[in-house]
Structure 1
């Protein structure tokens, strides 16, 4: 498919590699490498070169959709930018256009140069990423409420899921940012003074700021959950230790009178059972009072009136 801008430059759109693409760029340096990358469709790719007349060329590939739960499930498109033409391969604009946003196809061809048109396309990609980041923000708010109210052990998995999702959006945003910088390097003031470039630069800055903020939020939640888990583990161990110490006299006395020696005078005592019970209770209370006086029981053996994070 070929579209002509109102300013005369052309946008060639192709679904896959074909002979037409090769004819369009056959006389340009590095075209074989770009064509090879189109056929492989495996990684992000970016190069800056010069045509024989000295005009800059920016060519590469960008991943524009990726499943956070399955990193091998992604969609990639390829681009080739020259002074008078833009070539894209494998780009489905319907996959990135928002429900409430104006279709960007006509916005691209209304720009003065193919470089500015491509920057509009990058801006649409960033808008799509921002939509996903907004959904991530909602999930993070729910997660924060969950940590505050429930504090259950499965939260760690939820935190890691959100972290993987955040990494996914960061991985998609970084190549776009790199492409923006490559365009600046290739075309310099010719492009950096345009409204389209200033707009995409600001939008990328906004996106990276959000990603940085949410990364800090997730790290804070993760650290908090680790502290809570460590505290719970320590409380469990202290509780088990205190109960073990308290009931040690009973276990020791029971072990002694559970022996099968022939001569055990206590077996003939009329009130031996009562004495044994009194001794067990008294020694258990004595150990408990001693631990409490030392302050080693803390809140372990007290009832919990209010639900707190460190209960």
Structure 2
């Protein structure tokens, strides 16, 4: 499909198998021919800057990728007067609105950046959905810190890396356009507007990267703290009951001469000795401060902390 504007033309949805080279002189150029041949077999991001004949930018861009590693590409070749692309589609694209914006563009490069802005809209919608998942995970991490939290964090981290990988090539295209067209093509409104949108998208991605790294660090600290609490609890329990176990083992020995066998209150004496010993060891541990917070009510402390936090925030408001 061919769209003709005031100073430039957009060849949209070009079928590589049926390119009519007599349609436009651009198709005869060596750089365009090389791009057409390479695009038929390209399956990854490619960018080429042409400066020998006339300034041009060509390549392939992965604009959508699923979890099953199924990726969708669109190929492009752009000069100041011509823009060539193959068929591509994203669910957030409003093609009629995009063409209306292209009508105000003085060059094909400007129109190309209108198209890139539509792709960035798709990425921003995906990042908004990612933000919703991230906020829900942060809430679950605070209120229900289960074993699956770390797995979910790493899942979101991989998803964010995917959005970063989809956005970074667009940043590379912008820099390639600056290299090819210099100031003649980079001082226009749509180029600057799309550049700001690229910065906004990358800024969001970097912000969420920091959030995820912080969440991973907190989860690792909390896991280490839980492990320390478990080891501390086991140590205290072992120390408390070791004297009783020793008395019980001595009491259970079967020697020939055991005077306590004739004691009327032998069981009572033995139990009292065990209880007193355990109480003495516990008192000694408390005096040393080695029990820490093991025997305190953590849930009550947590509730009090949350209430005090809420009261503080209400006071500030």
TM-score bracket for this pair, using the shorter chain length: 0.7 to 0.9
Asked whether 1:217 is paired with 2:214, we answer no
Asked whether 1:170 is paired with 2:164, we answer yes
**Residue 157 to residue 37, structure 1, CA distance change in 2 (3 Å):** farther
2:56 — aligned with what? 57
For the residues of structure 1 that align with 2:102 and 2:148, how far apart are their CA atoms? 46
Asked whether 1:238 is paired with 2:232, we answer yes
2:145 — aligned with what? 151
Alpha-carbon RMSD across the aligned residues, in angstroms, is 2.5
Which digits, 9 at most, give the CA deviation of each residue in 1:148-205, with x for residues without a partner? Answer: 3233332212222221121111111100000011011101111111111111111111
1:166–1:211 contact (8 Å) kept in structure 2: yes
| 1:15 Cα deviation from its structure 2 partner | 6.1
Asked whether 1:28 is paired with 2:30, we answer yes
Query: Within 5 Å, which residues of 2 pair with 1:79-90?
Result: 79-90=76-87
**Unmatched tracts of structure 1, length 5 or more:** none
1:75 — aligned with what? 72
| 1:102 Cα deviation from its structure 2 partner | 6.4
1:18 — aligned with what? 17
**Residue 243 to residue 37, structure 1, CA distance change in 2 (3 Å):** farther
**Residue 84 to residue 30, structure 1, CA distance change in 2 (3 Å):** closer
**Unmatched tracts of structure 2, length 5 or more:** 306-317
For the residues of structure 2 that align with 1:22 and 1:141, how far apart are their CA atoms? 53
For the residues of structure 1 that align with 2:187 and 2:232, how far apart are their CA atoms? 66
1:76–1:90 contact (8 Å) kept in structure 2: no
Residue 253 (structure 1) aligned to one of 247, 258, 275: 247
2:55–2:80 contact (8 Å) kept in structure 1: yes
For the residues of structure 1 that align with 2:111 and 2:241, how far apart are their CA atoms? 79
| 1:267 Cα deviation from its structure 2 partner | 3.0
1:42 — aligned with what? 43
**Residue 112 to residue 289, structure 1, CA distance change in 2 (3 Å):** same
2:4 — aligned with what? 4
Residue 175 (structure 2) aligned to one of 181, 189, 193: 181
Choose 75-84 or 109-118, whichever is displaced more. 109-118
For the residues of structure 2 that align with 1:138 and 1:16, how far apart are their CA atoms? 39
1:126–1:173 contact (8 Å) kept in structure 2: yes
Residue 207 (structure 1) aligned to one of 184, 201, 204: 201
Asked whether 1:275 is paired with 2:269, we answer yes
| 1:147 Cα deviation from its structure 2 partner | 2.5
Residue 91 (structure 2) aligned to one of 95, 114, 118: 95
For the residues of structure 2 that align with 1:78 and 1:309, how far apart are their CA atoms? 59
For the residues of structure 2 that align with 1:109 and 1:264, how far apart are their CA atoms? 108
2:14–2:84 contact (8 Å) kept in structure 1: no
